[in-house]
Structure 1
Amino acid sequence: MLSDQLKQQIRKIYRHISDSLDGFTPRPSQNQLVAEIAKTLAGDYDKQQRMIVIEAGTGTGKSLAYLLGSIPYALRHNKKVIISTATVALQEQLIHKDLPFFSKHSKLEFEYCLLKGRQRYCCLSKLDALVHQEQLSFSALLTQKVTKGQEAKLHEMHKKLLNGSWAGDRDSWPDPIEDHLWSAIESDKHFCVRGLAAHEDCPFHRAREFVETADVLVINHSLLLADLELGGGKILPPTEDCIFVIDEAHHLPDVTRDFSSAHATVKGAMDWLEKLQKLSNKFCSIFTSNRSAGVTFELHDRIEELKKELKQLYDWLNTNQDQFFHKEKLYRFEHGVLPQWLVRQSENLGTSSGKVFKLQRKLHDALLNEVKEGDVKHTKAEPLLTESGFFLKRLENLSRLWQMMGSPLPKSKAPDARWIETIHEGKDFLVSSSPLEVGYFLADRLWSQCAGAVLCSATMTALNKFDHFRYQAGLEANDGTQYLKVDSPFSYQEKAVLRLPALTIEPTQEQFTDTLIETLPELLKHTGASLVLFASYWQMEAVADALREQHHFSLLVQGEASRSALLTLHKQKCDNNEPSILFGTQSFSEGLDLPGHYLTNLVITKIPFAVPTSPVEQAQAEFIKSKDGNPFLTLTVPEASKKLAQACGRLLRKESDHGIITILDRRLISKAYGKSMLNALPPFKRHIEY
């Protein structure tokens, strides 16, 4: 139970904070959040399931609410608070704004730090190896040649990392870093080992130093999942000692699914396995004793066996291309059922790749020990260990893929989605496997283990219900989890009008693009700041071309420049009192913050239904049908409802904001599901034309 002493402490902190803010207005919704979070974590509702799922509308102050509701309780009960987010922007806000403010005004003594996934950090040793090579383009770390400009960037990164002007994480570097450059220098668990002197000062290990002493850790969902996959408590503190605050929690199921998926090429794997054989010979030559010779010989044999099995698969796929790829470049196995020959081959590949991984790991660890013991100089060993870490990562993924492909079909849950696609003009094949349901993983590794959890977002419900998210996240009905929906304090009726024009054409009809071209000019005339959201790139581009040609509109169109460049130009035009019109797709519907005069006119061309074109989405629909369900109503409509709410949420970001939302999709009133979607939106003043 939440003690009276703790209640008084929380109230006292709230008063301190309110007194320190000029013009602070008490928010009943925020007070409710704080109280419900604290009572849930204290076990007032359920002693075992100390979890609460919250939808908090814009302006409720949920960040402050979960800090106040969780940190005092955690400090009193010797627990750590782990705040996991989906975006770097929210991490930065918490570390540089919210937590410093809360620490100062709460008068609580606690330490906090930011910890990102290992792959967000640069490995100093790898970067050092790259910049001291005469020919960067031939480095084993690089997958493609580097330009002179990229070479100069690597040297600048090295210099700034050494002089302390760069922290060594990808997000804090001022310019974008190309993927192939970053993959060559990113930290990895096989090579970047703390026990080696050359890695003592690596950025990831420096960041890890604060984990033991910090009371509050800010992380991302990927790092959370990486720790859970290892069993928990390996990267982060022990799960049972932590209270988890999952902000932007609506992303967690999708991030979990992506994290649990595996992909690998067939011919590409055969090619890099040959390079691994050459590397093992180099390992043998550097050891001070002959104790690795036996492992090396066995590794060679196992690699040959694995290459042979991959060659058999490649020949089989090549011979049967017409059977699998006569219409499309991608073939998905219905219900996850593989041909019997491929089942056996997958089982063999899973076993063989697992053996190669274990043997290479054995060689890798043996060399690490010789370096630690001083038998081999680290300058000689590090280039080999760098390459070895690179191959171990690939072997681990290869083994995981084929174990997933070869595993029996489950009886109690949905089968994995499994598919193969041709790449490089049919010269290679990419094999993929992805789970459809990930809730069981979260339930087993997180919800059943943690000391408590707060899951929150501005969009957690679909059609005004938590059911869709609850199923995705692995939460059972009536399991003790609390659910709370707190509306925004904004005066929606006064601040915004939701308008549905009297169009006769619906988005499913071929003439809809022409209708948009005819309708939008009137909606975009004489307005300050407009954002038009489309459901597809091709339609956005077709409409943009027509409006420019026929009406000479000046448009800022997604894809024609970077997102940041478009937003900068948009804000400059708004600040100069010039009309500005942004065209974007679904990615502009979330995480886009355009307060005040930066957005007063929002146009949504149609309900953002996701067409089930990806293998995972198709497999999900197939599984629901197999259970006599309706995938459109079960999956598509709830997801579209959530996305529509996110899109409408772009307009009002602050209490002083105002404007008009126009939705050009009459299905919101002509279809039963549309009416449910309309009723799930905030209570804007409605203007429906007939």
Structure 2
Amino acid sequence: MADFPYPALHASHAGAWIAAPDGETRSVGRGEAIRIAADTPVLILNAPLVGQRLGYGDLSGLDILELFAFLHPARFMVPTPRGLAKTLGLAPPADDAAVAAFLREAAARLLAVPEGDWPEREGAWTAGQSLMRLRWPWAPALLPLIEKPQRAERWLFSKLPEWEESAARPAPRTITLGDAEIEERLDRLTGHGAERREGQRSYAAATAHAFAPRDMRDSPNLVLAEAGTGIGKTLGYLTPASLWSEQAGGAVWVSTFTKALQRQLGHETERLFPDPEERRTRVVTRKGRENYLCLLNLEDALQGGFAGRAAILAQLVARWAAYTSDGDMIGGDLPGWLPALFRRNGSTALTDRRGECIYAGCPHYRKCFIERAARGSAQADIVIANHALVMVNAARGREMGTRPTRYVFDEGHHLFDAADSMFAAALTGQEAIELRRWITGPERGSRGRRRGLAARLSDVASYDEEGGRAITQAVEAAMALPSDQWLQRVNEGEPFGPVETLLAAVRGLVYARDTKGAEAGYGLETELAEPTPELVEAAGPAGEALDALVRPLVALGRRLEAVLAETPDWMDGPARARIEGAIASLGWRTDTAGAWLALIARIGGPADADFVDWLAVDRFEGREFDIGLHRHWLDPSRPFAKTVLEPAHGALITSATLRAGGDWDVAEARSGANHLLRGPSHFEAASPFDYAQQAEVVVVTDVKRGDLGSLANAYARLIAAAEGGTLGLFTAIRRLRGVHARIADRLARDGLALHAQHVDPIDTGTLVDIFRDDPRSSLLGTDALRDGVDVPGHSLRMVVMEGVPWPKPTVLHAARRMAAGGRDYDDRVVRAKLAQAFGRLIRRADDRGLFVLLSAAMPSRLLSAFPEGTPVTRMTLDEAIVRAQRLSSVPAMVHERAEQV
């Protein structure tokens, strides 16, 4: 690497360093580092992050992460010097000052890859030629090292396998599982000779009731099971699930809330099916369409639809697409850090986020990742999904022919929130403009691959006169919806069209009734009650405009159904699939517009006791980005029970915090069980961990509430005392950022890295990977890090919460609070959040940890959120620092032993 002509640059909160080609490394000021980077191409690791550290957002250069993504697509790596060293088999740099020189060594190792045994060689030369034309900084150094293949490379579109149609799966057989076979299967999954866990065995036996034959229509065998951390829930429910699937010949859908648990489930199923080929067919992971790479969007991007840095991203994604296991861009094997390297040129345009799929009309339909996953799940034994997808499929009638009869809802404490989001309606400017674009296609002069209804159904329009007329009417009616620059026109008092006029009236009423103070910078909202004459007057024309849109959409859907029934000569299997897909998309959009009509009808009309309606202006840091009307179910578990639970034959809803620190009435109310004809069975198993010895809860009494300086000082001192290993949780992004800005440099000088959600230009999953990989690092975050984060061992030894996580006083919360017990309802919400946060701390038997709550006002009645036996002490910050110092003395061998295990 001595002849590589460019220097390497590293910057952290502790400073900046340059490693010159002659081997000299020196510390430089941030101004000098920026000047060098602007004048000379530099080696860097994660350009957006380094640029943020330097205060130079446009930093660019030879990013080693981009080189790694090209050479090793679909391969995992923690994007830090430590993670890079571990992946490449190099000694990690000792400190920040040694990183710059290490980057040159790592680049040399990577540039040597093409000369050896390179599993991902196929397609590299072809992609490299395109990247050379795009002036990718690495191309001149890398391309001469890649030997030109003797024949044209077969990769990506020509290499991807095609999925195959298969016969419909017969209905599951009626079987009953025996206790002996459940125990035998559990022994096989846990391994003969493994420690016998009675709690896990009891759990497996109790959850088997969800797989028993159903004996009453619209009333599944429902099991609510609360099992503490360490019981072994995953293998506990996979035992009866796998047995039932094997004997009954049906699929069990295991639904989670977080991507982390989805990945964990994927690993656990290796015990069921050790052979990778067998596991690939018998275990399938399903996600929403917006998670998967759209091959048609990718082809358009590769053929000139993207420019500049976005075009380079498309080429790197194409390299990944040729090697990915499932095409999942969000939480799959695409490195989470890759799209973040391209900042404004995100990867969202490469997925189908607008519902514009043309199904069988796509030239890549037979190779589509989404279609492959859907067909794979129809034949699989275990389908790993998420709460949102399960509810969407049920509510919109998708895949009715393969609808599962057995569900397992892990992380069941999130079902209420997932249902709240799924069954809500929002008539906002952003939602309306997306519907307009879905119908009309691209606006004049705009770029992109948007295809309107006419383009997606051109053959139907030409074949069927009535269908073509409905398409034309829908396009004309959609012109009444908001268009580009709608928010600017509304803010300037010059709305165009009836819907923009309605949104302008909403905005005016929200600001008129604001009680928080508009200058605070947060979103504003008010109840949809006692509307002003302006709002009532605007509602009429807006309703008429939406009604004029819904009518042709409904007519088009019925006409497409008639076309299918008539089965014209030109319609083969793919054409039928295309029209079936169009019918499903139309049904979704028609239902959305219908919900908007109901919401508009509420203006000036009587309230519906089942719903909570309000008006909102959404803002971020004082800047408006959306305006609209919102409707949520007062109890969203009701539609969940109706659409998902009632048709099922059996379901297990399980979690470590299912009762939220309360009784079973809470679990039944939030899971939808109390809306079923027959009540559920209950199971409870306490965690096997010795919390009295492994954990301690400390309530700090002398950190002044609302004093950002005191809060930051507390976090800094606690993290320094524990020497990292801290997860800091906040209820407000603004305070998180304020604390991070005050303490990051201070901790970095002690060699303690501090990462932060909403600050670092890195996705949340990658931040957790970085935190897990380095025991001396710490991570700050909000709700997304409160649960679903699994960091066992020494890397997470302290959790610090800024205060009691009281619910935000929104219109929706106020309505539910009034309906569900006032203060008791608030207490249940808080206890659930505290229990979930505490659950991050002790993940296995050899963990030790401290849970710190920086709130003198912590009510004693909420302490029941913590596991029984956990010591709770109120003390000063100085005393808490002494407790935290004990954590840093935990032998490193504990962490090393955990890695070996």
TM-score when normalising by structure 2: 0.62
Alpha carbons 2:412, 2:654 under 8 Å: kept: yes
Q: 1: distance between equivalents of 2:300 and 2:562? A: 22
User: Does the residue aligned with 2:393 lie in a helix, a strand or coil?
Assistant: helix
Q: Paired residue for 2:842, among 647, 652, 661?
A: 652
Amino acid in structure 2 at the alignment position of 1:208: A
Which piece of structure 1 moves more, 530-539 or 212-221? Answer: 530-539
Quote the residue 1:516 is aligned against.
Answer: 711
Identify if the C-alpha distance between structure 1 residues 600 and 342 changes in structure 2 by more than 3 Å, giving closer, same or farther. same
Q: How far off is 1:405 after superposition?
A: 1.3
- Superposition pairs of residues 68-217 of structure 1, within 5 angstroms: 68-95=239-266, 97-103=267-273, 111-132=282-303, 134=304, 136=305, 146-158=306-318, 161=321, 163=322, 165=324, 167-170=326-329, 171-175=332-336, 176-177=338-339, 181-186=347-352, 191-194=357-360, 198-217=364-383
Alpha carbons 1:401, 1:432 under 8 Å: kept: no
Alpha carbons 2:616, 2:628 under 8 Å: kept: yes
Q: 2: distance between equivalents of 1:38 and 1:516? A: 48
Q: Paired residue for 1:667, among 844, 857, 862?
A: 857
Quote the residue 1:29 is aligned against.
Answer: 199
Q: 2: distance between equivalents of 1:565 and 1:515? A: 30
Quote the residue 2:549 is aligned against.
Answer: 353
Q: How far off is 1:642 after superposition?
A: 0.8
Q: How far off is 1:556 after superposition?
A: 0.7
Q: 1: distance between equivalents of 2:452 and 2:802? A: 58
Which piece of structure 1 moves more, 355-364 or 582-591? Answer: 355-364
Which piece of structure 1 moves more, 598-607 or 355-364? Answer: 355-364
* Aligned pairs, number: 647
Q: 1: distance between equivalents of 2:732 and 2:869? A: 27
Q: 2: distance between equivalents of 1:224 and 1:285? A: 28
Q: How far off is 1:550 after superposition?
A: 7.8
Amino acid in structure 1 at the alignment position of 2:333: S
Report which structure shows greater RCO (CA 8 Å, sep ≥6). Answer: 1
Amino acid in structure 1 at the alignment position of 2:198: P
Q: Paired residue for 1:403, among 578, 588, 597?
A: 597
User: Does the residue aligned with 1:212 lie in a helix, a strand or coil?
Assistant: helix
Quote the residue 2:185 is aligned against.
Answer: 13
Alpha carbons 1:497, 1:685 under 8 Å: kept: yes
Q: Are 1:459 and 2:619 an aligned pair?
A: no
Q: 2: distance between equivalents of 1:277 and 1:566? A: 38
Amino acid in structure 2 at the alignment position of 1:602: V
Q: Are 1:594 and 2:791 an aligned pair?
A: yes
Q: Paired residue for 1:238, among 403, 409, 419?
A: 403
Q: How far off is 1:404 after superposition?
A: 3.9
User: Does the residue aligned with 1:210 lie in a helix, a strand or coil?
Assistant: helix
User: Does the residue aligned with 1:485 lie in a helix, a strand or coil?
Assistant: strand
Q: 1: distance between equivalents of 2:368 and 2:769? A: 34
Alpha-carbon displacement from aligned partner over 1:45-68 (angstroms, at most 9, x marks no partner): 999541111122111100010011
Alpha-carbon displacement from aligned partner over 1:213-271 (angstroms, at most 9, x marks no partner): 22222222222112111336527x234xx211011112222122222234455584697
Alpha carbons 2:209, 2:223 under 8 Å: kept: no
- Superposition pairs of residues 624-643 of structure 1, within 5 angstroms: 624-625=817-818, 630-634=821-825, 636-643=826-833
Alpha carbons 1:346, 1:405 under 8 Å: kept: no
Alpha-carbon displacement from aligned partner over 1:475-523 (angstroms, at most 9, x marks no partner): 218942022221111111111222234x25664xx45x45435545553
Amino acid in structure 2 at the alignment position of 1:650: R
Identify if the C-alpha distance between structure 1 residues 103 and 412 changes in structure 2 by more than 3 Å, giving closer, same or farther. farther
Identify if the C-alpha distance between structure 1 residues 164 and 492 changes in structure 2 by more than 3 Å, giving closer, same or farther. closer
Quote the residue 2:149 is aligned against.
Answer: none
Q: 1: distance between equivalents of 2:560 and 2:300? A: 18
Q: 2: distance between equivalents of 1:580 and 1:620? A: 36
Alpha carbons 2:283, 2:383 under 8 Å: kept: yes
- Superposition pairs of residues 360-439 of structure 1, within 5 angstroms: 395-396=589-590, 399-406=593-600, 413-421=609-617, 429-439=627-637
Identify if the C-alpha distance between structure 1 residues 19 and 323 changes in structure 2 by more than 3 Å, giving closer, same or farther. closer
Q: How far off is 1:435 after superposition?
A: 3.0
Quote the residue 2:688 is aligned against.
Answer: 489
Q: How far off is 1:83 after superposition?
A: 0.8
Quote the residue 2:679 is aligned against.
Answer: 480
Alpha-carbon displacement from aligned partner over 1:541-586 (angstroms, at most 9, x marks no partner): 4344444688866551413322455545545653xxxx44433333
User: Does the residue aligned with 2:651 lie in a helix, a strand or coil?
Assistant: strand
Q: How far off is 1:675 after superposition?
A: 2.1
- Superposition pairs of residues 20-59 of structure 1, within 5 angstroms: 20=192, 24-39=194-209, 41-42=211-212, 48-59=219-230
Q: Paired residue for 1:685, among 871, 877, 891?
A: 871
User: Does the residue aligned with 2:376 lie in a helix, a strand or coil?
Assistant: coil
Q: How far off is 1:641 after superposition?
A: 0.8
Alpha-carbon displacement from aligned partner over 1:609-658 (angstroms, at most 9, x marks no partner): 2323xxxx422413543x5x654431x32111111111112221111111
Alpha carbons 2:719, 2:726 under 8 Å: kept: yes
Identify if the C-alpha distance between structure 1 residues 3 and 147 changes in structure 2 by more than 3 Å, giving closer, same or farther. closer
Alpha carbons 2:212, 2:221 under 8 Å: kept: yes
Q: 1: distance between equivalents of 2:645 and 2:584? A: 33
Alpha carbons 2:214, 2:649 under 8 Å: kept: no
User: Does the residue aligned with 1:597 lie in a helix, a strand or coil?
Assistant: coil
Quote the residue 2:500 is aligned against.
Answer: 314
Alpha carbons 1:112, 1:216 under 8 Å: kept: yes
Alpha carbons 2:225, 2:682 under 8 Å: kept: yes
Q: 2: distance between equivalents of 1:3 and 1:166? A: 34
Q: Paired residue for 2:421, among 245, 258, 263?
A: 258
Alpha-carbon displacement from aligned partner over 1:307-342 (angstroms, at most 9, x marks no partner): 458712423554685444345574434369796545
Q: 2: distance between equivalents of 1:675 and 1:420? A: 34
User: Does the residue aligned with 2:178 lie in a helix, a strand or coil?
Assistant: helix
Q: 2: distance between equivalents of 1:229 and 1:271? A: 23
Alpha carbons 1:303, 1:356 under 8 Å: kept: no
Amino acid in structure 2 at the alignment position of 1:500: V
Identify if the C-alpha distance between structure 1 residues 222 and 545 changes in structure 2 by more than 3 Å, giving closer, same or farther. closer
Q: Paired residue for 1:604, among 797, 801, 805?
A: 801
Identify if the C-alpha distance between structure 1 residues 515 and 361 changes in structure 2 by more than 3 Å, giving closer, same or farther. same
